[in-house]
Amino acid sequence: MIFLILIYEFFQIGLFAAGGGLSTLPFLNALADKYEWLTSDMISQMVALSESTPGPLGINMATYAGYMAGYNTFGSPLLGVATAFTATASLVAPSFIVILIVAKMLDKYKNSALVNDAFSTLRPAVAGLIAAAAWSVISVTLFNFNASAFGGAFNLLEIALFAVMLVITNVKPLKKLHPLVFIAIAAAAGIVIGYTIGWGEA
């Protein structure tokens, strides 16, 4: 049953998540509300991990979510690999099908006003999906909306690290550095802070 669920859910995500990997986040958050094998915390960790590893973000996240679905359902790493493959293949299948169709039709309709209007309409929708994805990551990482006190709604340590990284990535000499340098710095900071004072105590 879990295989059919993954095919159904991730085929839909692949079909409608226009705009790249980050646009899959609203769909993944919806999955977290429906199924026990995926949570909002897992999604935020998944984003950090997927951004730090080679490959497209959306595919990495589908692979991770698929693995967790299989592992949490069956308790078997081997079946987790099978569900990871199922989720990943289901995510990329719509793009593969659509690109094959578009490639055959593009030359014929590339100057069509109808096609140009469709792309003009898609752009703001894609921007909205990406903005929603960015907010879903920010809200989980920097804020705690379940806190009873107003001051507890802000994860001060995470906000401070975010501000520091925002500043240093916009310093002119540092802009030339490869993004992997900043990813490594953030990962190292997370490890040091986690093992010294702990994120939960910030």
Q: What is the pLDDT of residue 81?
A: 94
Write down the pLDDT at residue 117: 81
Kindly give the confidence (pLDDT) of every residue in the chain, 202 residues in length, as a single tens digit, with 9 standing for 90 and above.
899 999 999 999 988 877 667 778 888 888 888 888 888 788 877 887 777 777 788 888 889 889 989 998 888 889 999 999 999 999 999 988 988 887 777 767 767 777 778 778 888 888 887 788 778 778 777 877 665 565 567 777 778 888 888 888 888 888 888 888 888 888 888 788 778 876 555 4
Q: Where along the chain do its domains lie?
A: 2-113, 151-201
**pLDDT value of position 202:** 46
Cβ–Cβ < 8 Å for 17, 24: yes
DSSP sequence for 48-59? HHHHTSSS-HHH
Q: What is the number of other CB atoms lying within 10 angstroms of the CB of residue 70?
A: 26
Cross-strand pairs, 143: 154
Quote the tokens at residue 105: 């039709």
Distance (Å, whole) CA 45 – CA 28: 13
Task: Please give the torsion angle defined by the CA atoms of residues 141, 146, 151 and 155, in that order, rounded to the nearest 10 degrees.
Answer: -10
